Structure 1
Amino acid sequence: MAITGPTTSGKTQLSIAVAEALDGEIICMDSRQVYRGMDIGTDKVSPEHRHRVPHHGLDLRNPDEFYSAGQFGRDAHYYIEEISGRGRVPLLVGGTGLFLRSLTHPIFKQPDIDVARLQALRGFMAKRPRAELERWVGALDSGRAEFAQEGGPQRLGRTIEVALLTGRSLSWWHSQGTSDREPLNGLIVVLDKDREELDRRIDARVTRMAAEGLVEEVSGLLEKGYGPEDPGMSGTGYREVAAYLGGDMTLEEALGQMRSQTRQYARRQLTWFRHQLPDDAMHVDTSRSLDAQAADVVAAWKTKERSIDG
């Protein structure tokens, strides 16, 4: 089973309730929560929740290390087999669409890329306006231009990086995708949340992160030698707070950009879920009580399980 949805939609709470009802264990499906020392800015699941339900796939990498969708797919298959082998139910939980896609579609093996050249290129691109990056994508990978331009700076940057540093476009690499495993045939659960409610929850989350010590967390990472050009810290929150600590903006400006960037990310997630998920994905109305949501998901899982076994 996979439980997904836009940021702040309530995936953690629902997944804990479902996992406890099904004797399940959770596999993190979030591209940021794989990084060590990045707890507040990624809203990583709390120690209390980890005590209630075993979690897998957290804290796997340092912030300067890569973690691709392909690697997630391999790790997730291992966790799924190991959890299932003990008679428990694996639940994939998170909002990173490409991680979910790695389990349902063939993926390509990421070519080796020189880290120093990559970081230099990322530093250069960080100073370029979005319109210029979009022109680069159009010139380097016309087949991916529309998809990349619908996304954020990371998607644009990724398309440019692969084309310049491997000599082949990302579209070409995707066309070479293969898989030695059958696509997963499970239940995909999508949490639906009103956009205005998402915006309110995002604003509240950013305020909470600041109160819980996000600035101190980012400062500690910078002191260890990590920076916004590193894979783990290139995401929303760490990038803006690093700019504040570097004197490039006020704290209020940094938090304002965090809110704006997170709202845009949530909208991109909604678009991705609308176009990329299968027609039989189960949509959950999050305006209902948590108990009602969990009961519906548990019932749907048991029905799906019977159809697979049969």
Structure 2
Amino acid sequence: MPDALAIVGPTSSGKTALSVEVARRLDGEVVSMDSRSVYRGMDIGTAKPTAEERGDIPHHGIDIADPSERFNAARWARYAREKIAEIRGRGRVPMLVGGTGFFLRALTDPIFREPELDPARRAELSRELEALPDEELHRRLAEVDPESAARLRDWGGRQRLLRALEVPLLTGKPLPWWHRNSPPEAPGVPVLAFVLDVPRERVYATVNARVDGMVDAGLIDEVRGLVAKYGEDAPGLNAHGYAELIPYLRGERTLDEALELVRKNTRAYTKRQQTWNRTQLPAGAIHVDATRPRAELADEIAAAWRAAVGPQGGAAGTPDPGSSHPGSAGGV
């Protein structure tokens, strides 16, 4: 029996609005599964759901770290396990919503127990690696961990490259060795996952329009303020929509060039998300056509959840029709 419901989909696939509709039907609370919405101050460029978009549904996992911090899948999984237990304890349904598939897998198929890493050496190595371009990081990774280098050529992501390099350089053994020889950090959490399928052309068109909307909403000033506060090398600012604009702020590219890179890189990221969703999600994931009416999809997902958990119809009991949600908990 699943402990949590997950709604997964590429950027701009309508996850936020749909999740609110489902939560209202199931007395649910949302745990954000987005690797950038965890960061405070990164609001416009991450399309973080506003208080109005969250409605009366409690949201967790938003604004829980500074951009100067690294926030990896293992840390999110620990956070999510705590929130799932809390939400179930309130008799509500935990709903994991977002497009970061690595986060979901870290929860359902926990990664190895991390080896102890000397903080001083780790900080020194981090400063050295952060200064290198992705191509050089990948070249170095191929030298010390060819297996991970081959895997990350497809799935990519700067933070994953940095992590894959950090472990062998500090422990002498590559990530795959630790995966095979170290026990998992915690038991896996059973999850019923729903995948939003959207035609790629539609996703691309939505991404292009969203970038223009972000600029109108003040994205440039947001990036400028974050750089002033945390510095250009802050881990959180490697995100699409931020990394491409930093050279513009330095005067190294025009705004049009920077925004076209944002569009291009975000489209490429959605393509990787869709590939992941086809091949890497937990067994039993249910694919749904996200172009259908939202209310219809919400009814279908709610019905499938109730069927999966049995007569109780929720995480810890039948929802009380008269129950009310606490206020939105973004930033918990």
Asked whether the two chains share a fold, i.e. TM above 0.5, the reply is yes
Q: Distance in 1 between matches of 2:167 and 2:20?
A: 37
Tell me how far apart the structure 1 counterparts of residues 164 and 47 of structure 2 sit (CA, whole Å): 27
CA deviations 1:54-102 (Å, max 9, x no partner) are 0011111111112121111111111001011011111000111111001
TM-score scaled by structure 2? 0.86
Task: Name structure 2 gaps, 5 residues minimum.
Answer: 314-332
Cα RMSD, aligned residues only:
1.9
Aligned to 1:120: 128
Distance between the aligned counterparts of 1:141 and 1:43, measured in 2? 35
Matching residue within 136, 139, 145 for 1:135: 139
Tell me the amino acid that sits aligned with residue 201 of structure 1: T
- Of 105, 109, 119 in structure 2, the residue corresponding to residue 105 of structure 1 is 109
Query: Residues 32 and 71 from structure 1, CA distance in 2 versus in 1: closer, same or farther, beyond 3 angstroms?
Result: same
Deviation digits for residues 227-256 of structure 1 (CA, Å, limit 9, x no counterpart): 2x2211111111111111011111111110
Query: What is the one-letter code of the residue matched to 1:92?
Result: L
Aligned to 2:190: 185
Tell me which protein shows more helix as a share of its residues. Answer: 1
Cα distance in 2 for residues equivalent to 1:167 and 1:180? 20
Secondary structure (helix, strand or coil) at the match of 1:239 reads coil
What letter is aligned with 2:239? Answer: G
Quick one: structure 1 residues 217 and 180, their matched pair in 2 at CA, closer, same or farther if it must change by over 3 Å? closer
Dislocated runs of 4+, deviation >4 Å: none
Greater Cα offset, 35-44 or 182-191:
182-191
Shift of 1:139: 1.8
Tell me the residue number matched to 1:233: 237
Is the alpha carbon distance of 1:307 and 1:102 closer, same or farther for their aligned partners in structure 2, counting shifts above 3 Å?
farther
- For 2:302, what is the secondary structure of its paired residue? helix
- 5+ residue gaps, structure 1, are none
SS at match of 2:226: helix
CA distance in 1, matches of 2:246, 2:299: 42
2:300 maps to a residue whose letter is: D
Alpha carbons 1:105, 1:183 under 8 Å: kept: yes
Within 5 A, what are the aligned runs for 1:8-47?
A: 8-47=12-51
Please report the TM-score for the alignment, with normalisation by the length of structure 1: 0.92
Match of 1:202 in 2: 207
Label 1:11 to 1:69 Cα distance change in 2 as closer, same or farther (>3 A): same
Correspondent of 1:266 among 263, 270, 275? 270
State how far apart, in whole Å, the 1-side matches of 2:66 and 2:282 are: 34
**1:86 is matched by which residue type in structure 2?**
R
Return the letter of the residue paired with 2:188: P
* Residue-pair matches, total: 304
Tell me how far 1:142 sits from its aligned partner: 1.6
CA distance in 2, matches of 1:266, 1:223: 29
Partner of 1:84: 88
Quick check: 1:95 aligned with 2:103? no
**In structure 1, distance between residues paired with 2:297 and 2:305:** 12
Structure 2 match to 1:255: 259
Residue 17 of structure 1 and its aligned partner are, at CA, apart by 0.5
